[in-house]
Amino acid sequence: MPKARKRQVAEYRLTITPHFNELHQQHTTVFIMETAQAFASFRYELTVKEEIEENVLRYKILGLKTPQLNLPASGHAVFRREYENLSGKYNLIVEGLDGTTNEFLVRITKKRIQILKAPTHAFVEIVVGNSSSQD
């Protein structure tokens, strides 16, 4: 009888949400990557190197950084970016600390995000948010 394969638990969660920036009156896409693990003492920053080339978004996770303020707070380590003018299909590549990569294919529009392709055993879980636009 073959061994039961352990279900791999995602180490990170990446939430992608279409957003309407009221201040600048334009559609944007918000990417929030956070650790699955919450920390009890500090709310760390997730350090990520980002690259955008044509229709490829590449994130390399570099590690955790202690917060500027040393006030105790619990929570997940977080990285947040807001991009303007993303539209179409994108290869989204996330590289972990150990060099392992997960590659996703996503479609981005002003009001909707779709995951078209995802790896079977990913260390990153993608969560798609709803549009927060007002038009």
> What is the torsional sign of CA 31, 36, 38, 39?
negative
Give 24's pLDDT tier (boundaries 50, 70, 90). confident
**Segment 34-69, tens digit of pLDDT:** 999 988 877 889 999 999 999 999 999 999 988 776
User: What's the pLDDT band for 89 if we cut at 50, 70, 90?
Assistant: very high
63 within 8 A of 97, measured Cβ to Cβ: yes
User: In this predicted structure, what is the pLDDT of residue 92?
Assistant: 98
Decide if 14 contacts 124 (C-beta within 8 A): yes
What is the structure's pLDDT at 23?
85
Q: Is pLDDT at 29 greater than 90 in this prediction?
A: yes
Averaged pLDDT for residues 66-90:
87
How far apart, in Å, are the Cα atoms of 33 and each of 3, 62, 131? 33, 13, 18
Q: What is the average pLDDT across 115-120?
A: 96
